[in-house]
Amino acid sequence: MPPKRILVLGGGFAGLWSAVGAARERDRQRLSSDELAITIVNRDAFHSIRVRNYEADLRGVRVPLDDVLEPVDVERVEATVEDIDLGQQAVAVRSAGTEERQTLPYDRLVFALGSRLNRPTIPGLAEYGFDVDTYDAAARLDAHLASLPARPASPGQFTVLVVGAGLTGIETATEMPDRVRAILAKAGLDQPFRVILADHKAWVGSDMGESARPVIEQALASLGIETWTGCSIVSVDEQGATLGSGERIAAATVVWCAGMRAHPLTKRFPVERDCFGRVPVDECLRVVGVPHVFAAGDVARAMMDDTHASVMSCQHGRPMGRFAGHNVVCDLVGQPMLPLRIEWYVTVLDLGAAGAVYTQGWNRAVAATGEAAKKTKRTINCQRIYPPLDGNREAILEAAAPVVQSPPDLRH
């Protein structure tokens, strides 16, 4: 008899932990991989620590998926997901490198393809803009910044324009002064540079709330970052950007950080998606009204408590993955599933050399700033969100237990 098949789409925070969570529950149900096969499909061989792509040092921001999956007997298929046939319970994929197409059947599916940067059809943005949405994009930006001293002199040669003053834009902008300063020093140059953070809204950090806004504004000012609010970008070229007002910003580097949307294959589901393109899931991460399919992470809208839905972040993506992986096995073998509920919410925003700001609750009340918050941010980015890296099977499976971690510790 062929094995039952669980197919997990995506190797990000939700996808990886869905696959490992399923492997953990498979062990608990005393099933072998010959009885229950678990396969993860990802476009490359890495689990990307995506939230670190804004950093200057990209070493260590990718984890080889096989280091985590092989010890727990999860198969990996390196391919791009092209389509989902819900009726036939099959997924069409295109293999990386060979362009070979194949169809992968499933008995249960975990849809965890994540989100993508929202790239509007602004003239020149695709050709001349940069972003930190993926590792490859972040590496491209890094190489571009390093090349600036060798470029022909121009008014915006050492001006970096970051568009989008949400969390990613703020973290990208506040990292830039030290990055540009180091590049100039390495080239033996001593000259001024500019970092500009622009947004169409009337203030920066709108997602962080009233309590954190003064902290963010003070940090930006202390770092010499200019803020341009209430403005829109209508075109980008090699020399900079043009605003809706007709003004020009001369900038050899334009970094787009404005908005995220769920993976476009959410359109395949016969459900009403939210404003981010996410599909609704119930408390056990099943896609509402769609048999045999679970969803987790940035593609899914799950209620975290009685009034608040999940946010598109690893803070919710990781536990959603662990619970989806556990529940997809339970659903397949007819065992009770576990509802996910998270009673707390925190945000830790990196502010570069100005430290960080740590907020608690959905109203984002500031709990810590400066170096204390920065230590917590480093703990999260460099330790807490990583899977075990020593290949220990028991440790990897235990890390996928369907439990909700406590908030990051502020004590240092």
Q: Are residues 179 and 219 in the same domain?
A: yes
> What span, in angstroms and rounded, lies between the C-alpha atoms of 161 and 232?
13
Instruction: Annotate 137-162 with b (16+ C-beta within 10 A) or e (fewer).
Output: bbeebbeebeebeeeeeeebbbbbbb
What does the pLDDT average to over 81-95? 97
Average pLDDT over residues 302-307: 96
- Give the pLDDT confidence score for residue 241 in this predicted structure: 97
CA angle, 40 as apex, 37 and 45 as ends, to 5°? 135
Mean pLDDT, residues 297-316 taken together: 96
Is residue 61 one of the residues assigned to a domain?
A: yes
Q: Is residue 76 part of a domain?
A: yes
Instruction: Pull the structure tokens for residue 258.
Output: 């404005």
Task: Tell me whether residue 408 is exposed, middle or buried, using C-beta atoms within 10 angstroms of its C-beta: 0 to 12, 13 to 18, 19 or more.
Answer: middle
* Token digits of residue 349: 């925003």
**What is the pLDDT of the chain when averaged over all its residues?**
95
Does the structure show a pLDDT above 80 at 206? no
Domain boundary among 256, 274, 293: 256
- How many domains is the chain built from? 2
At 39, is the secondary structure helix, strand, or coil? strand
- Nearest CA-CA partner of 39 in 2, 76, 78, 73: 76
Residue span of the structural domain in which 152 resides: 119-256
The answer as to whether 398 is a domain residue is: no
Do residues 379 and 346 make contact, with C-beta atoms less than 8 angstroms apart? no
Q: With 0-12 CB in 10 A as exposed, 13-18 as middle and 19+ as buried, what is 403? A: exposed
95 and 138 belong to one structural domain: no
In a domain, 242, yes or no: yes
Is residue 35 domain-shared with residue 95, that is, in the same domain? yes
Q: Is residue 410 part of a domain?
A: no
Residues 400-409: pLDDT tens digits? 999 998 888 7
pLDDT computed for residue 98 by the predictor:
81
DSSP-assigned states of every residue in 123-175: TTHHHH-B--SSHHHHHHHHHHHHHGGGSPP-TTTTEEEEE--SHHHHHHHHH
CA distance 367 to 215: 11
Separation of CA 55 from chain center = 14
Contacts (Cβ under 8 Å, ≥6 apart) of 98: none
Rounded to an integer, what distance in angstroms lies between the CA atom of residue 173 and that of residue 5?
Answer: 44
Question: What's the pLDDT at 55?
Answer: 96
291 in any annotated domain: yes
Claim to verify: residue 266 and residue 313 sit in the same structural domain:
yes
Whichever domain contains 177, its CATH number is: 3.50.50.60
Summarize pLDDT for 338-375 with one digit per residue, the tens.
999 999 999 999 999 999 999 999 999 999 999 999 99
Extract the tokens encoding 223: 């770092």
- Distance CA(74)–CA(67), nearest Å, equals 11
Looking at the fold, whether 135 and 245 belong to one and the same domain comes out as yes
Backbone angles phi, psi at 64, to 5 degrees: -60, 125
What would the two tokens of residue 325 be? 């992986």
Listed residues 195, 223, 256: the one ending a domain:
256
Residue linked to tokens 């459900």: 271
Domain boundary among 256, 284, 310: 256
Q: What angle do CA 136, 142, 146 make, to 5 degrees?
A: 145
Say if residue 43 is in the same domain as residue 85.
yes
Taking only the tens place, the pLDDT of each residue in 49-76 is: 999 999 999 999 999 999 999 999 999 9
Range 31-58 average pLDDT: 97
Residues 334 and 331: their CA atoms lie apart, in Å, by 5
CA distance 313 to 298: 7
Tell me, yes or no, whether 55 and 132 share the same domain: no
Q: Name the DSSP letter for residue 309.
A: B
Neighbours of 409 (CB within 10 A): 10
pLDDT at 2: 87
Q: Are residues 111 and 203 in the same domain?
A: no
Q: What is the mean pLDDT of residues 247-251?
A: 97
Q: Residue 358's pLDDT is what? A: 95
Rounded mean pLDDT, 263-267: 97
50 occurs within a structural domain: yes
- CA distances from residue 177 to 114, 158, 166 in whole angstroms, order as listed: 30, 10, 18
- pLDDT at position 78 is 96
Residues 164 and 243 in one domain: yes
CB 167 within 8 A of CB 208: yes
- Does position 412 have pLDDT exceeding 70, yes or no? no
Q: Give me the residue label for tokens 């030290």.
A: 178
Distances (CA, A) of 78 to 18, 44, 98, 337: 17, 5, 11, 30
Task: Answer yes or no: do 204 and 144 share one domain.
Answer: yes
Residues 79 and 132 in one domain: no
pLDDT number for residue 409: 75
Please give the structure tokens belonging to residue 312: 């598109």
In a domain, 207, yes or no: yes
Share above pLDDT 90 across residues of the chain, in percent, rounded to a whole number: 94
Model pLDDT, residue 128: 97
Q: In this structure, what DSSP letter does residue 244 have?
A: T
- Contact between 112 and 321 under an 8 Å Cβ cutoff? The reply is yes
Is-contact 69 62, C-beta < 8 A? no
pLDDT at 411: 61
Q: Which two tokens stand for residue 154?
A: 């121009």
What is the predicted pLDDT for the residue at 399? Answer: 97
My answer on whether 91 and 11 are in the same domain is: yes
